Structure 1
Amino acid sequence: MWLTGRSIALIAAAAVSLALAALVGIPALLYVTGLCAGLVAVAVVLAVLARPRLVLTRTVTPAIVEPDEPVEVVLDVGVVSGVPVVAGHWRDRLPSTVLGTATGTVPVTGEPRARVEYVVTGRRRGSHELGPFSVSVGDAFGLVQRSLVAGGRDRFIVLPRRHSLDVRVGPAGATDGATRLHPTSGLGQDDVIARPYLPGDALKRWHWKATAHHGEPMVRQEESELRPTVLVVLDADPRVHDHAGFEWSVSAAASVVAHYGGRGFDVDLATGAQQVSLESGHGLQDALVVLALAEPDSSPLIIPARERTTFVMTGSLDSTSAARLLQAVPSRDTIAFVARGTSEDAHGALAAAGWHVVVRDSNEDLEAAWAAATGVPA
């Protein structure tokens, strides 16, 4: 609780009136002294008796957003008090990772609750907390004010930035894509359908009519036997990443997950001890949220043993970290995106295991690295 400038002026006027009454001998000035000092005293007493309490409801829409997408925050503010008070300036605390202005004056509506709102934008992927909220309240004459705080916080999540990827994926020389698919139900051995091209699918499997119809490479698949599946691995080990490199890997992992999930593939995402599975692309947002919240983590990768096309997003490897990845990732059909600075021994170990290794820089466009993995000109 504090006295406003108006109270300070009344106290000063009371002091001057008292001094003049004593020096000049004008008793009437004592009435002015009493009036000024009395107003301030009454305001202080009422502020003590009021015991105001802040009631707040914060609504954040939407709670999960794309990069650079605005978020609307609506605050329903009410003050419960033993005596009438007036709400003034409000402020909702924002983290440094958020752009926006969350201050203003509570509108006078005559209702017990008032509505204020503002718009913010997340500067980077991840979870962003809003709050606590504070508002100043005072008496009707503006003599005494105090600050009320509502400690509740709400958050919104910004998904990783993603990039469109070329549908012509897979390094040259990969084996037949059928080895990277798992069983599913169908109608019979003769039921042949077309599915999107997988890394390394043989030319003999191409479905030319479906390719012409869809405008992207399609291959023949026996519905009763096969369904396309890929694995995306984000190596979050802090020993192989700097900040820029880790962000590149997160964005690349999100782009690959969205690329295949949006095309109806089964996609498994693994990062540290966390795993998320998308069946026919369903659950894509859950996987993107996991990546949005991903932080460097030295937990060992846990990946079920199953042969399928695998994409590994990692950093600058030495022979030890390369051996760790080779032990954790079960698939031999693997495309690994590694940072420049990876040792020759690590590069050689991955290549010897049959992995296709793509060296990238932290400031390199994902599309260029993807083209390097596919052999398709950027």
Structure 2
Amino acid sequence: MLGAAGLVLGFEDIVRVGVLLIVLALLALVFARRPAPRIEVHRTVTPPTAIPDERAEVQVTFTNIDHRSSRLYLAEERIDYVLGDRPRFVVARLEPGATREVTYVVRSHLRGRYTLGPVALTQRDPFGLTFVTRSLERTDELLVLPRVVPLGAAHPPGSGVGNDGETPQMVALHGEEDVSIRTYHDGDDLRRVHWPATAHRGELMVRQEDRPARRSALVLLDSRESAHGGTGAASSFEWAVSAVASVLVRLDELGYRTQLVTREALHATNIDLIERSTTEMIEDLASATLGTDQDFTRMLSAGQDRATAGRLVAAVVAAGEDDAGTELAGLRQPGAAALGFVLDSAAFENSHADGPSEAAVRVRDQLAAAGWRVVIVDPKLSILQAWTTVTNKALVQVGSL
């Protein structure tokens, strides 16, 4: 338009300006349509796993894997808002095979699995008329584990030795064969030779009279959305997840073989719980989320199938409006110990509540009547205090807590 006006009016300078603008627009269009060089991105997270409120450093490395040089880019790393503001940085020109490294810091006050990336690269033409945005789709993950609280030297009934052992130390786990035969070693008493096994194996086999102690435990996390209260890091569910993680670590220190019952574990394994290491179970807890009442019913059913005689049971349960305590109480087998942490959801909703709610008292009494050692939890009670209470050897009447 400007050039046409210059021709009509007879002003050559205006015509030149119009032509120049047209040329600039064409050059910008050619610039924008040129294929971009191939760039590869790689991230290194230090530490690879974090805990809430811990800083993690992310090092992003850009590598030009093309035969052409790249241009100047403005990069933006797309991350979850919980980790902070999206990092923005400039990626300078990269020659073929060259690399550039940039570093930023993230921190989350909530546990979870957080995706890092993709990276959006924005490139402008030299005249500032156009810009092109491309995305490097590779992503990585930052795992924020639940907070684990050291539980001191206290241990549940039956986990000691000698006079401290209140339940049998040698407990056959579900699905294990009760076999105590091993290969003959020099010096073994020949009167202990097991001849049928010897004939079958073709080598001397002896009876193993002193089997190693095998303690087992079942830990359950109540994740009913209808029963929990509070929001964010101060919610009853976050207290529950942190408590379960802390109990798992303590039981591992005491030599227990533990199975964790969560809604995620049941969905992932189609109701068949698989024994996992303590580290793996805590990593699984990082992704624990609230579920339905039907999930809790399935969890109780799976727990009933695995609550064998002598097996310790520990459950962190929220006090809802139903009679979940009655159903949960059946997990404790005769002669076994059971530890119950009853979360007073109403107190997590209203921290100024005067005394425990009726729902929390009802669940506590239901578990106590079935022989559980139980404590009511409010936001002011720490995980260590709750653990110390339910493992107190001097505790006589659990219903009075």
TM-score, normalised with respect to structure 1: 0.72
Structure 1 or 2: more strand by fraction: 1
Q: 1:69-125, CA deviations, whole angstroms, 9 ceiling, x for partnerless residues?
A: 333333343678999762321101111221355211112343455433322123211
Residue 252 in structure 1 maps to residue 243 in structure 2: yes
Q: Tell me the amino acid that sits aligned with residue 243 of structure 2.
A: A
Q: 1:259-301, CA deviations, whole angstroms, 9 ceiling, x for partnerless residues?
A: 22134432222223544535xxxx2210101111111233211
2:314 alignment partner, one of 305, 311, 314: 311
2:329 alignment partner, one of 326, 329, 333: 326
* Matched residue, 2:275: 277
Residue 33 in structure 1 maps to residue 18 in structure 2: yes
* Matched residue, 1:224: 211
2:144 alignment partner, one of 158, 163, 167: 158
Q: Within 5 Å, which residues of 2 pair with 1:41-190?
A: 41-48=26-33, 50-52=34-36, 55-61=39-45, 62-77=47-62, 86-99=71-84, 101-111=86-96, 114-115=99-100, 116-170=102-156, 176-179=165-168, 181-183=170-172
- The CA distance in 2 between the partners of 1:79 and 1:235, in whole Å, is 49
- The CA distance in 2 between the partners of 1:314 and 1:180, in whole Å, is 27
- The CA distance in 2 between the partners of 1:251 and 1:236, in whole Å, is 13
Q: Tell me the amino acid that sits aligned with residue 253 of structure 1.
A: V
- The CA distance in 1 between the partners of 2:65 and 2:275, in whole Å, is 48
1:240 alignment partner, one of 227, 240, 248: 227
**What value does the CA root-mean-square deviation take over the aligned residues?**
3.5
1:347 alignment partner, one of 364, 371, 396: 364
Residue 268 in structure 1 maps to residue 259 in structure 2: yes
Question: Is the alpha carbon distance of 1:267 and 1:83 closer, same or farther for their aligned partners in structure 2, counting shifts above 3 Å?
Answer: closer
- The CA distance in 1 between the partners of 2:31 and 2:381, in whole Å, is 64
Q: Tell me the amino acid that sits aligned with residue 71 of structure 1.
A: A
- The CA distance in 1 between the partners of 2:116 and 2:332, in whole Å, is 39
Structure 2: state its 5+ residue gaps.
173-177, 183-208, 267-272, 345-356, 395-401
1:296 alignment partner, one of 280, 287, 290: 290
Q: How far did residue 67 of structure 1 move?
A: 3.0
2:381 alignment partner, one of 339, 364, 368: 364
Q: Which SS does the other structure have where 2:22 is aligned?
A: helix
- The CA distance in 1 between the partners of 2:137 and 2:121, in whole Å, is 12
Q: Within 5 Å, which residues of 2 pair with 1:14-33?
A: 15=2, 25-33=10-18
Q: Within 5 Å, which residues of 2 pair with 1:185-224?
A: 224=211
Retained in 2: the 8 A contact 1:127–1:158?
yes
Q: Which SS does the other structure have where 2:363 is aligned?
A: helix
Retained in 1: the 8 A contact 2:64–2:94?
no
TM-score, normalised with respect to structure 2: 0.69
- The CA distance in 2 between the partners of 1:113 and 1:58, in whole Å, is 13
* Matched residue, 1:375: 392
Q: Tell me the amino acid that sits aligned with residue 287 of structure 1.
A: M
Question: Is the alpha carbon distance of 1:30 and 1:225 closer, same or farther for their aligned partners in structure 2, counting shifts above 3 Å?
Answer: closer
Retained in 2: the 8 A contact 1:234–1:312?
yes
- The CA distance in 2 between the partners of 1:269 and 1:84, in whole Å, is 53
Question: Taking every aligned residue pair, what percent have the same amino acid on both sides?
Answer: 25
Retained in 1: the 8 A contact 2:150–2:246?
yes
- The CA distance in 2 between the partners of 1:39 and 1:339, in whole Å, is 68
Q: How far did residue 141 of structure 1 move?
A: 4.8
Structure 1: state its 5+ residue gaps.
1-13, 188-221
Aligned residues between the structures = 322
